[in-house]
A and B are shown apart, each in its own frame.
Chain A
């Protein structure tokens, strides 16, 4: 698990429109600069927003990546709910401090 690296990549991406263009054109050219697990790389590339949530990415970071990837707000919320169904409880990060299942 390299949650810090995943979040760092998304943090850099969110605040840098030029990096977003580079990333969307050639994901690997950006991903190679971060120490990521295969699961994280797959989730980022797909993109599997639900899995990124389960891996522990903070929603304040993830919601912008979802928007960059074209998710409308309800789709973003649904992707996280689907992620919990498909991949189980949140595994790391801020949201794991409760049961990781979400509050609703």
Chain B
């Protein structure tokens, strides 16, 4: 069947964990945008949701760091963080190991992806699911791109990975939704937490909306570090979604820098229909 839905969203832990500290209009407008994304996702009646995330040393560490990993578990637990700290109750999330296996096998034709039957979701997945599948009744296939512990995979490989995911979805009979989650510019969990480079974000989002491959792959890590902070490395997740929906434009439904959430809060949906 292939893709029935594709989009991107932010996942910063402050979105839920520091909601009480946010300006009410910032919080409500962003939460509303997440609600609208959920509604758009639900009408496509997906059988499974692939979440391309950038986890933060919850499962993967510098002792054995995969550039790419896809989950193949029956179920997943999350969040791994203190539920009170994150503002999200710990729960089990259903997986779909059989579909995972088919996707992994197909992706391996193009990209040497790792797989894992064990995976604890951190805020990178738990925050989006809190809004998008709040009943935890949709099969989730977690995907990770290492955006935290350099050396990092080059952007053109993130593109190739997104394309490989798309080919795998095209061959599956299921109705599959896919989202990428990450920050654009941000300096999370550092003394600069709350700094956001809005101009850089808006430029990136224009290019992301246009699915401008050349522009998207033109970001060097040095430039990203300087202008977008270490959190900017997570653009890999957005780029993978562009690659998975190559040739389609997308709409940014919400963008607002919200410093207490430590990120330019973003919701974007790819226009998959002609």
Which A positions have Cβ atoms within 8 angstroms of B?
Answer: 4, 7-8, 11, 14-15, 53, 58-64, 67-68, 73, 77, 80-81, 84, 94-95, 97-98, 102-104
CB < 8 Å: which of B120, B189, B225, B226 contacts A63? B189
Using a Cβ cutoff of 8 Å, how many contacts connect chains A and B? 68
Q: Knowing A8-B61, A77-B193 touch, does A98 contact B225 (C-beta < 8 A)?
A: yes
Residues of A contacting B: mostly: helix
B210-238 at interface with A (beta carbon < 8 Å): 225-226, 229-230
Q: How many residues of B contact A (CB 8 A)?
A: 30
Q: How far is the CB of A26 from chain B (nearest CB, A)?
A: 21
Give the residues in chain B near A84, CB-CB below 8 Å: 191
Give the residues in chain B near A94, CB-CB below 8 Å: 149-150, 230
Q: Knowing A60-B57, A61-B57, A94-B150 touch, does A103 contact B195 (C-beta < 8 A)?
A: yes
Indicate if the CB atoms of A104 and B57 lie closer than 8 Å. no
CB < 8 Å: which of B21, B81, B148, B150 contacts A64? B81
Indicate if the CB atoms of A60 and B188 lie closer than 8 Å. yes
Indicate if the CB atoms of A60 and B148 lie closer than 8 Å. yes
Q: Within the assembled complex, what's the spacing in Å between the Cα atoms of A59 and B225?
A: 15
Q: Within the assembled complex, what's the spacing in Å between the Cα atoms of A95 and B56?
A: 15
Interface string of B171-191 (1 = CB under 8 A from A): 000000000000000011111
